[in-house]
Amino acid sequence: MPTRSTLFLLLATLAPAQQANVNFDWNPHKNTENLAPFGAAAVSPEVHDDRTVTFRVKAPEARQVALATGPFTLALGKNRPQPFEKQADGMWTLKVGPVKPNIYVYKLLIDGVSVADPSNTVAGFGNQPPFSEVIIPGDGPAYYDARRVAHGAVTRHVYTSTVTNGEREMWIYTPPSYDRGKRYPVLYLLGGSGELASGWFLYGRVNFILDNLIAEGKATPMIIAMPNNQIMHRSHPRHIQDSFPLFEKELRTQVIPFVERHYSVRSDRRSRAISGLSMGGRQTELVGFPCVDLFSSFGVLSAGDLDAEKSVAAFLNAADTRSKVDYLLIGYGTYEEAPLNTGSATGPRGSVADRSKALAAALKAHSIPHELYVGGDGGHDWGTWRHLVHEKLLPALWRKR
């Protein structure tokens, strides 16, 4: 029988530690035991109880260290790099905030080179260089955290594509208590340019978001298929012309048939939805809209097109389009008013907000039902996209039938 003192010591050792990665900790950057992550030279970032944050970098030979401009500096109301101060022992430090609760992506600039925080184990990657995340908690687990509810499963599949002539991956979420005796609707959820198929559950946390919504009775149990929507190199000179028709072929001949062979799903168009962020939103618009034979619900997140009439024209080519749209969301973040650098001279111009409003106006002109929504206290980042799927997309799908 353990004594009271030994029980206290046991509970203390089981308490969450700085980036311990023992549980899905909703406050992983709180430094409860003053322990640096394994292999790290510093505790960074450290989130304090007042939601201020201290960053640290051990770089005695560096001449300059700064927090790079990005989603986290945007949350600070700063549109420029934030310089660190060098200490006598070669440690560079920066304290900022307080910051609103959310998960923020950030990078450091060390002598002008953009790098992930070398002491932060909460990191991400994609079809782009690695980045770091800092988690600012609220008073308890957030809507995107792993709460004590029934959890669904996320499975990785690798299949051979005759479109790209190679092996490709797709991640598929099944809801809690998935029952092969039932048939489920399917959301085909797409990432952006530079995102991998895993982005929506690793950084978007869509699996935890849907777990929590289902537990609250706010969303229909559904399957989410997250395919790789990178169909050709983003810098290829014919990316704009070729990638959209190729992705439609991938959807029709590879992705949807795979899901319907391996999972217990409803195969009618009213039981399929397609949505995506940024480039995935453009694919929803330019591939999904013309395919009303496949989909009846759509989510265009942080995308749209100033030449929206062209996109909507494809919609109108389908007979009785208005009756074929069950739900259509156009959503973007609070801070997406600035012009978006697409990296392409032929890519869409204007800000995400301008392009989204143009798409909404074109849909309205043709009496196609839709919802235009702005929110999330974020820019062109996961803070916006998590908010959009939680607040609007997932609760709306298949709820009015």
pLDDT in tens, 92-143: 999 999 999 999 999 999 999 999 999 998 888 877 788 999 999 999 999 9
pLDDT of residue 16: 52
- Does some domain include residue 143? no
**Mean pLDDT within 301-307:** 79
Taking 90 as the threshold, does the pLDDT of residue 316 lie above it? no
- Does some domain include residue 358? yes
Task: Look at strands 46-47 and 166-174 and give their pairing.
Answer: unpaired
Residues 6 or more apart from 313 whose CB is under 8 A from it?
A: none
- Does some domain include residue 147? no
Q: The domain spanning residue 273 has which CATH number?
A: 3.40.50.1820
Specify whether 102 is located in the same domain as 181: no
Give the closest residue to 96 by CA, choosing from 115, 124, 112, 77.
77
Domain range for residue 385? 153-396
Specify whether 90 is located in the same domain as 169: no
- Does some domain include residue 315? yes
Specify whether 205 is located in the same domain as 348: yes
Specify whether 367 is located in the same domain as 278: yes
Specify whether 286 is located in the same domain as 157: yes
Domain stops at, among 136, 162, 185: 136
58 contacts 93 by C-beta, under 8 angstroms: no
Specify whether 382 is located in the same domain as 260: yes
pLDDT of residue 376: 86
| Sign of the torsion formed by the C-alpha atoms of 70, 73, 78 and 81 | negative
pLDDT of residue 126: 77
Reading the block at residue 228, the tokens are 């790789």
Give this prediction's pTM. Answer: 0.89
Specify whether 187 is located in the same domain as 119: no
Specify whether 254 is located in the same domain as 107: no
pLDDT of residue 33: 74
Cα 73 from Cα 81, distance rounded (Å): 8
Taking 90 as the threshold, does the pLDDT of residue 12 lie above it? no
Taking 80 as the threshold, does the pLDDT of residue 322 lie above it? no
Count of C-beta atoms within a 10 Å radius of residue 325: 20
Taking 50 as the threshold, does the pLDDT of residue 171 lie above it? yes
- Does some domain include residue 146? no
Specify whether 103 is located in the same domain as 186: no
DSSP H or E run through 126: strand 123-126
Task: Look at strands 85-86 and 123-126 and give their pairing.
Answer: unpaired
Residue type, 186: V
Give me the phi and psi of 132, to 5 degrees please: -110, 160
Q: Tokens 């310089």 — which residue?
A: 83
C-alpha gyration radius of the chain = 22
Specify whether 36 is located in the same domain as 176: no
Specify whether 131 is located in the same domain as 178: no
CA dihedral (31, 32, 34, 35) in degrees, to 10, reads: -80
**Mean pLDDT within 353-378:** 89
Higher model confidence: residue 216 or residue 320? 216
Higher model confidence: residue 394 or residue 286? 394
Q: How many CA atoms lie within 13 Å of 121's alpha carbon, on the beta-carbon side?
A: 18
- Does some domain include residue 41? yes
Q: The domain spanning residue 53 has which CATH number?
A: 2.60.40.10
- Does some domain include residue 159? yes
Domain stops at, among 105, 136, 167: 136
**Mean pLDDT within 262-291:** 93
Least confident of 10-14, 66-70, 214-218, 242-246: 10-14
Structural domains counted in the chain: 2
**Mean pLDDT within 15-39:** 72
Give the closest residue to 393 by CA, choosing from 336, 325, 327, 296.
327
**Mean pLDDT within 49-59:** 95
Average pLDDT in the chain? 86
Per-residue confidence band for 266, with pLDDT thresholds at 50, 70 and 90: very high
- Does some domain include residue 142? no
Chain-centre distance for alpha carbon 28? 19
Specify whether 380 is located in the same domain as 276: yes
